[in-house]
Chain A
Amino acid sequence: MRRAILTLLGALLIAQPAFGEIARIKRSMGNATVQRDGASLTLQPGFLLLTGDTLVTGKDGQISLTFADDSRFSIGPDSHISVDRFEYNARSQTGEFVTRINHGSLAIVSGQIARSKQDAMKVRTPTSLLGVRGTRFIVEVPQ
């Protein structure tokens, strides 16, 4: 029975990425969690991020992750960062991406979504809304 379920899962995975998956955690250190529906989830490499998740790090925390459109994030200590919107069509390589930095530090290398249409990738801070038009930058929001 278990084997049959695994085979079925495998068949589904061949057709498309895991349902709702938007990014994978590559590395996490120290105090680092994902908050989802009121629960605080522990991270390990390969952890699948979903839209609406909030990434939280403590004093010694760090998280690295890569999104389905090849965007890459590095999150520093004492951060609270939410992915409010991530829609990506792998076939047309277009989409919409909105990240909100409540506080903390975030290094970004933008990917396909930022390339697909002007300001399709946005970053919100408590004082501003940014339209990402390319490549590598750091946003810091002191607590």
Chain B
Amino acid sequence: MSPLRLVPVLIVSVLSACATGPSLILLTSEEGKQGSVAVLEHDGIRSDDVIDELNSWTNLSGRPHSSSIDPAKLDTRLRRLLEDLPPAPVYRTLYFLEGTTRITPDSVPNLEFLKSEIARRPGAEVLVTGYTDTVGSSDDNDELSQRRAEEILKGLVEQGIAISMMSAVGRGERELLDKTRDNVSSALNRRVVVTVR
């Protein structure tokens, strides 16, 4: 068979693979960032292929091969699938008056914003995460951060938000906003982050 006669046969087999086998479409992140997906196994064989070509289509049966696609030309069904992804979680940070579990006046608008986000998201989940500065032992700070988180949660309950959609966790002095040494008082680090999913 001459090489020329092979070409149509190859095209047909590639098209049928598109139509019948499992496949992956890799897109840019919502912030336009790079991402990738590794193929760790295909057809029972271990693999070290990494799909990192953004806006590409890749077959997942047989050795993976990627080809570029135009994300603006995805068919209606796939566009719909992407549009139906839940909205990205939102986060707001509330700061505390020193020596209290009361938030600073500057934090009040953030609390109002969070309440409206909770109201407009069906099946919302609210996660309240407390943090401390580095004054005191890390065990005590784990406990203090938990108490701060629970204080905010109680405030949200008082404003009519169902407790069944909320939870609180304390992360102590992990993830300092202001990267201080140990035993340093910091208003920036005394905070609670509220996530609305």
Contacts and interface: CB of A to CB of B under 8 A. Distances in A.
Interface of A: 10, 13-18, 24-27, 44-47, 62, 64-66, 70, 72-74, 76, 90-91, 101, 105, 107, 109-110, 119, 122, 125-142
Contact of A14 (B29, B38, B121, B163): B163
Among B37, B167, B171, chain A packs the most CB atoms within 10 A around the CB of B37
B24 A137 contact: yes
Interface in B118-132: 121-125, 127, 129
Contacts of B167: 13-14, 16-18
Interface residues of B, number: 59
A133 B36 contact: yes
Contact of B123 (A27, A133, A134, A135): A27
A135 B60 contact: no
Interface of B: 19-30, 33-43, 50, 60-61, 64, 77-78, 80-82, 84-86, 88-89, 121-125, 127, 129, 150, 153-154, 157, 163-169, 171, 174, 195, 197
B197 A70 contact: yes
Contacts of B121: 26
Given A46-B123, A130-B37, A27 B84 contact: yes
Contacts of B33: 134-135
Contact of B43 (A44, A109, A128, A137): A128
B37 A132 contact: yes
